[in-house]
Structure 1
Amino acid sequence: MTVLLSLAVLLLVNLTTFLVFWWDKEAARAGRWRIQESTLLGLALVGGSLGAVLAQRLLRHKTRKQPFRSLLNLIIGGHAVLALVWIAAPSWLTQMVAQIP
């Protein structure tokens, strides 16, 4: 159950991130108020990196902007390392982390 709940939350965060990137792209097209880059990167950092990358590719949004692009790539790399550590972690470590409230 915990795994399904975690996946559901991750899906929700990524969907939200994608939609916020879409909103920012539409605001840029219309010349309206924009969402701060720190907010976009923050959403990626808390688990929305896949949604951010998909939005960046599909919407062609923030693809050339530096240092945004480099920071997003750093976040993605950090998430990849965490995923690999989680997969490779011994079972006692996984159980210990699962008990953290």
Structure 2
Amino acid sequence: MPRSGELVQWNNKGGYGFVRDQANNDYYVHVSKLADRQLRPRIGDLLTFEIASGRNGRPAAINVAVASAAPLRERSMSDVKRISTSVSRYKIGLRTTAATMMTLLILLAIADDRVPVWLGGTYALMGAASALLYRFDKLYALSGRWRVSETNLHVVDLCFGIIGGLAAQEIYRHKTVKPRFVATTWAIAIVHVLGLAMLALGWISIALP
């Protein structure tokens, strides 16, 4: 059954992106599935498409056609915020839950004098850095410019930036579809949750000054 949606991400060099339907579901789009391969779509185009199973077993768009072209203009930071408003501000996802859990574990461990205050500061500083990287990567994806590498995003998340990284993924609806990236993100999150839980419960300790 044909559907319609907005192209919210497009890598013109790689020939792939994501289209978002009216139910806020994102579907992978590849240039090989375009009805007219000579006409590359642009961010903001209204597309018509059908759904089929992709290579990873996840739903993907096929028989894609541009129903209405978006006005040609430069994307800005306001576009990042506008896209994220399609998600209810009251909806709490798994990423927000995990980020909140880690924050509470850090606060509990500090309150019980099980970890130094600088550990909480490190999580806050690196979390802010990670959130900024995701924000800029989302903007670059919208405008088709140079992207922040996935390796760099994972490294910053691993180096105590995971709380900000998860929050940014939730807010900007960014990097939440690609299976390998999502799996790596959750592996990093689990490592930090377990480590913080053991610190908060006193199973392991950090020498205090």
TM-score range relative to shorter protein: 0.7 to 0.9
CA displacement at 1:8 relative to structure 2 = 1.9
**Are 1:44 and 2:157 an aligned pair?**
yes
What's the secondary structure of 2:119's corresponding residue? helix
Are positions 1:11 and 2:11 aligned together?
no
Q: Distance in 2 between matches of 1:17 and 1:86?
A: 23
Letter of the 2:155 partner, please give it. Answer: G
User: Using the alignment, how far apart are the partners of 2:202 and 2:187 within structure 1?
Assistant: 22
Alignment of 1:1-101 (within 5 A): 3-89=116-202, 93-94=204-205, 97-98=206-207
Q: Which amino acid aligns with 1:29?
A: L
Cα contact 2:123–2:161 (8 A) shared by 1: yes
| Root-mean-square deviation (Å) | 1.6
Which letter does structure 2 place at the counterpart of 1:22?
Answer: R
SS state at 1:98 partner: coil
More strand by share: 2
Structure 2: which amino acid aligns with 1:7?
G
Percent identical among aligned pairs is 27
Higher relative contact order (Cα pairs below 8 Å, separated by 6+ residues): 1
Distance (whole Å) between structure 1 residues aligned to residue 174 and residue 207 of structure 2? 36
In 1: Cα distance, 2:148 partner to 2:155 partner: 12
Runs of 4+ in 1 over 4 A off after TM superposition: none
2:134 partner letter: F
Structure holding more helix per residue: 1
Is the contact between residue 158 and residue 188 of structure 2 (CA under 8 Å) also seen in structure 1? yes
- Displacement after TM superposition at 1:4 (Å): 2.9
Whichever of the two has the greater Rg, that structure is 2
Distance across 2 between alignment mates of 1:10 and 1:41 = 15
How many residue pairs end up in the alignment? 94
Name the aligned partner's letter for residue 42 of structure 1.
Answer: V
Equivalent residue letter for 1:66: P
1:66 deviates by 1.8
Distance 1:18 1:53 in 2: 8
Equivalent in the alignment of 2:65: none
Letter in 1 for 2:157: A
Report the residue type matching 2:207 in the other structure.
Answer: A
Question: Any unmatched runs of 5+ in structure 2?
Answer: 1-114
What is the CA–CA distance in structure 2 between the aligned matches of 1:53 and 1:7, rounded to whole Å?
17
Structure 1, unaligned runs of 5 or more: none
Q: Distance in 1 between matches of 2:139 and 2:165?
A: 15
